[in-house]
Structure 1
């Protein structure tokens, strides 16, 4: 990452500390490459929709359809915060997210089973598809595969990040083989339902990646978004592409790969350009990644563990947090037949970004 220095640009505010990973981590190496916030993130949110409980929760809230830019922006900001932000900010965001997810409960119309956005299995699925997608995009369209030592460190760091979810870090695979085994166990539960197909197609649409409105370069940005979407599709398993009705041309896959590799390599050479890309895709994420992209030292150059952060800032483990609220939401939805309350939504805006209304 280079030698960190104090900011020369007043618009870049340093973080309080290095967060949970820091400049010596493989997480910073992989997640700071321009493939992560583009193809990696887009693939993550697309693959997630294969899980029936998750897509039921997403569809019920209508966020990805009614306010796609805001939903994309807030989600990408949280992804980036876990990797790069200081421990106080991330701990607060993780705690608030449990409250936000407390309203993500109901009955899946496809399977008839109850779903809960805070369910540990659902959270593990989100965690693993996210970290795997970021790594896969780095390997496919970036510098290539990590060394065996780096890959082991990457999955160990993924387990650290899992402590910020309701899932257990012990359930996080530590090798490529263990990850493959997880997907094989999960495969019978995955369904390309009608609502999943609609969500996946929508999330792959280029307009989700670009700001609203018109500008002289809007056509160019749409073409770039289309190329990124096609690159994302090329990373999906062929059974997913077939069942979801997505393009499956091996020829196009082969053409897209070198084009994107060259484009991302050029983008990575300019810190300003990398930050500009993130600013276009997710304005709310700019302040999270700017200190890292520009080697701005934090106020306190230390890395902390999630356990140290919880003790320092007074938060419960996510799996244990806000039990009363979660039980109250269950009574409202499953007992009284009412809609869940909006608790946590307004509270989340200063941390995760404003919600368009």
Structure 2
């Protein structure tokens, strides 16, 4: 255990962090019963990924999810059809925590639940998205089930989570990034019929093909304004929210930053890196009975399995079928 881990362990026992722990518990426990899943159901069933997947490791850390979601949402809202759909039908402006709960629950169910346990939630998500449709400025129409836009949403989410994990939690190799893309194929099928590239080069080309369609839209600026003043972690984290948003902006591909004229200053980037790397180290020490931990329990593994690092005595991540 390094010095940073020792500091994180000590910090996790300070009274201040009882509020952080409660905020985490609230985020991981959706108020909406339709978004609750039994992660212990079907013992031994790895779901679509399994404990030695890159995806399980990346999605386990809350910093990777909540910071990685920001560049994904920015890119999505910059596209007219997706931006209008979110602005018109999402409740993120009036129910930030509830919306965060539902988004997190859907992503975690896709990742960690057994195939049988997640069916009801996926059906609920599909039903709610069925009403998302409307007109475009060119006279066309958008729907939540447009295959090309669904692929864009899926791939921008994967990009954001991977980049946040790589920067704030632990480095991902080129091979691990490629593996994560292949792993995501079954998860994509959970939400509808759309094709996605199977390689990093293919993903990069597909996302770049959207460049002419991405603009600094009012819906995007509205989201950024809300994101800077309302934290899904509650009031305790509000002072850090602006830094978290800047960190997410800095994770955007360079061509997107140029297209949308969005940049994070070097000073803000340095501050964000320091704060978020510390958060990524100690937040797992506050987590209890969260979906990643319950899924590990379902597979007969210790709760901290996904938070172990290379060099730890029991580190086995990345060894195919090591836990089965």
> TM-score, structure 2 length as denominator?
0.72
Verify: 1:27 aligned to 2:55, yes or no.
Answer: yes
* Alignment match, 2:35: none
**Residues 116 and 199 (structure 1), Cα distance of their counterparts in 2 relative to 1, 3 Å cut:** same
5+ long unaligned stretches in structure 1: 1-10, 212-217, 276-285, 300-357
Q: 1:207 matched to which residue of 2? A: 230
* RMSD, matched Cα: 2.7
The Cα of 1:28 is off from its aligned counterpart by: 0.7
- 1:89 corresponds, among 117, 120, 134, to 117
Q: Deviations over 1:117-155 (max 9, x none)?
A: 11111211111111111101011112112251x223211
Indicate conservation of the 8 Å contact 2:215/2:260, yes or no. no
Residue 205 (structure 2) aligned to one of 168, 181, 196 = 181
Equivalent residue for 2:103?
75
* Structure 2 residue aligned with 1:288: 291
> Residue in 2 aligned with 1:274?
287
In the alignment, which residue of structure 1 is the partner of 2:148? 121
- State the SS of the aligned residue for 2:56: helix
The partner residue of 1:46 within 51, 55, 74 is 74
| Unmatched segments (≥5 aa) in structure 2 | 1-28, 30-37, 301-324
Displacement of 1:223: 2.3
For residues 95 and 193 of structure 2, the distance between their equivalents in structure 1, rounded to whole angstroms, comes to 28
Displacement after TM superposition at 1:49 (Å): 0.8
In structure 2, distance between residues paired with 1:113 and 1:68: 30
The answer to whether 1:112 aligns with 2:113 is no
CA contact (8 A) 1:242 1:248 kept: no
**Secondary structure of 1:205 counterpart:** helix
Take 1:139 and 1:129, find their aligned partners in 2: how far apart are those partners?
A: 15
Alpha-carbon distance, 1:264 to partner: 1.3
How many angstroms apart in 2 are the aligned matches of 1:206 and 1:235?
Answer: 20
1:297 corresponding residue in structure 2: 298
Q: Structure 1 residue 159: deviation in Å?
A: 1.3
**Map of 1:258 onto structure 2:** 274
Alignment size in residue pairs: 262
What is the Cα deviation at residue 75 of structure 1? 1.1
Q: Does 1:151 align with 2:152?
A: no
